[in-house]
Structure 1
Amino acid sequence: MSSAQIELIKQLRDRTGAGLMDCKKAIVACENDVEKAIVWLREKGLSKVAKKANRVAAEGKSWIEESGDDAVIFEVNSETDFVSESPAFGDLVKEIGKVLIEKKPATLEEATEMVSSICADGTMRMGEKIVLRRLKWIHKSAGENIGTYIHMKGKIAVAVVLKGGDKAFADDIAVSLCSSLPTYIFESEIPAEVVKKETEIEIEASKADPKFASKPQAIQEKIVEGRVRKNLNSQVFVDQEFILDTSKIVGQVLKEHGAEIVSTVRFTTGEGIEKAQSDFAAEVAAQLNNK
């Protein structure tokens, strides 16, 4: 088999999720025409849900659905970005969102059961394993607003709850949170052991500075304290630049709007999922040799 045919088989498998040998048969039967091979596979019914159960689904979309005082942020995965970026997958994600916000399942297990038929149908139509990976509920009380932002058509989804302000401002805060990767929302969240470790690192680094060594102990301590605070505050969301007006920090605009952050949640699609890596040509050769 030529390297060109191996590449066509890879393309077909990536697009359909069908088995390797089925893709080979389709490419041969359709005389190396990938588009015809896709139709051939579907006509033969070779894209089965059961065949996808053990595949890794690491692409997809993170999405948010809102209704009244509630919002649900959730992630739906597929195997390839070809499927996750398709209109059909986008419609499927929105359909799942409507079911979740209407039925309000308390757990992921309940939610998975509720949308199982939607995912199974999507797998049959799109030829890839499709799963609801995770979800989290957001609720607002009286005087609070839920802000949301979905970035790059579902690569990142962010929701925040603010006390005070309004819906539009809460959405702006969600945009700013999406644009940064803070370790903490507030300085008060920084653990004491982290401060201690950063202080030790800064003291050690300062020893190489002869000007620092010549200063009185009390001054040295203040310098170290200031450097540690600056380093750690760069990881704190309310101390970072507000993305829509970089002349101000987030904490400042919150104060100007009479608002405060109650809670935040951020989903990045595929985070924490290990994607399998393989030598595709070697995989083809191995399977062909076993036939």
Structure 2
Amino acid sequence: MAVTAKMVKELREKTGAGMMDCKKALTETDGDMEKAVDFLREKGIAKAQKKADRIAAEGSTHIEVEGNTAVLFEVNSETDFVAKNEQFQNLLKDIGRHLVTQKPADLDEALQQKLHGEGDTLQDFITSAIAKIGEKLTLRRFTIFEKSDNDAFGAYLHMGGRIGVLTLLEGTTDETTAKDVAMHVAAVNPKYVSRDEVPAEEVDHERTVLKQQALNEGKPENIVEKMVEGRLGKFFEQICLLEQDFVKDPDQKVKKFVEAKGGSVAKFVRYEVGEGLEKREENFAEEVMNQVKK
């Protein structure tokens, strides 16, 4: 298939590779974006970790905790200005209280439930807020955690809610430690708690890429396997929380830090506003001129 400038731009954003390298990779892989990423990695041109999806949509994450229930959720708005105003912040609090008390199973159920169990539905409540605030508002996603009296939630909002992290530690009620882990997750962005959670196909895929990378470097086949296993260890350190150097004390792993407090990491969830969403590209100067001409 024909390789377009947009495809080359997207691959550059994902890998950090040069324009001509990206064009060649897409040509060699018939325009398959994921195969092109692997092609560049195998040639040693791209970084091992793909860059995060472009963050575009506005809005905020929010965390609500009530007793042994906590929720992290994201509400999107059209502009950053709206996300900071008092009406929007009050909307977040109302949605948070609803989610922790009604505990819906999914987004569809949440929107159809009556707000706090009575009156209008949550969807109607959000629609009413849209009329007042003057922008499209969307409850995009949420995750609810439940704990026992012997566990601890860690809640952390970064940059006023641009990034939100909720952690659950078992075996300790130390909320400070749980929040420290949440801050680490916000900063480092692991994908899994431990290597046991990494899907086998993801590990196999990484092993294949690393093997081809080593062969392309001219390494003898008899030592390639050993090299691949060593590099796989680095791969797990990049994506698994427990194997990462703790940001507040890089001399110890996150696992050791939490164990020293008598607990263990059960799970975490991290939201970054707008991740995976596209925002319309606007020329601000042009927009102002258009307004002046009216």
The equivalent of 1:228 in structure 2 is 232
Gaps of 5+ in 1: 1-56
- Structure 2 counterpart of 1:204, from 184, 191, 212: 212
Whole-angstrom CA distance in 2 between matches of 1:274 and 1:159: 25
Give the Cα–Cα distance (whole angstroms) in 1 for the partners of residues 104 and 194 of structure 2.
31
**CA deviation map 1:142-199 (0-9, x unaligned):** 4222211111111111111111222221111111111112232211223333333333
Structure number with bigger Rg: 1
Match of 1:86 in 2: 85
Relative distance call for 1:262 and 1:220 in structure 2 (3 A) is same
Greater displacement, 121-130 / 68-77? 121-130
Q: What is the count of residue pairs matched by the alignment?
A: 227
Contact 1:187 1:236 in 2 (8 A): yes
Aligned to 1:153: 160
In 2, Cα distance between the equivalents of 1:100 and 1:200? 43
The code of the aligned residue for 1:177 comes to: V
Q: Establish whether residue 195 from structure 1 lines up as the match of residue 208 from structure 2.
A: no
Q: CA deviation at 1:95?
A: 2.4
1:272/1:207 CA distance change after superposition, 3 Å: closer
| 8 A contact 2:236–2:243 mirrored in 1 | no
Deviation of the 1:278 alpha carbon: 5.6
Cα distance change, pair 278–221 in 1 and its aligned pair in 2 (3 A): closer
Query: Which structure 2 residue ranges, 5 or more long, are not aligned?
Result: 1-55, 116-121
TM-score, scaled relative to structure 2:
0.67
- After TM superposition, the structure 1 = structure 2 runs for residues 217-256 of structure 1, keeping only pairs within 5 Å, are 217=222, 219-256=223-260
Aligned-residue offset at 1:257: 1.8
Q: Tell me how far 1:279 sits from its aligned partner.
A: 6.5
Q: Percent identity?
A: 36
AA aligned to 2:262 is: G
Is the Cα–Cα contact under 8 Å of residues 190 and 240 in structure 2 kept in the other structure?
yes
Give the superposed CA RMSD.
Answer: 2.9
1:182 equivalent among 186, 190, 197: 190
Q: Deviations over 1:20-75 (max 9, x none)?
A: xxxxxxxxxxxxxxxxxxxxxxxxxxxxxxxxxxxxx9321111101111011111
- Report what 2:171 is aligned to: 164
User: SS of the counterpart of 2:148?
Assistant: coil
Give the TM-score of the pair, scaled to structure 1: 0.68
In structure 1, C-alpha distance between the alignment counterparts of 2:245 and 2:202, rounded to whole Å: 23
Q: Check whether the contact 1:59–1:84 (CA below 8 A) recurs between aligned residues.
A: yes
Matched, 1:268 2:268: no
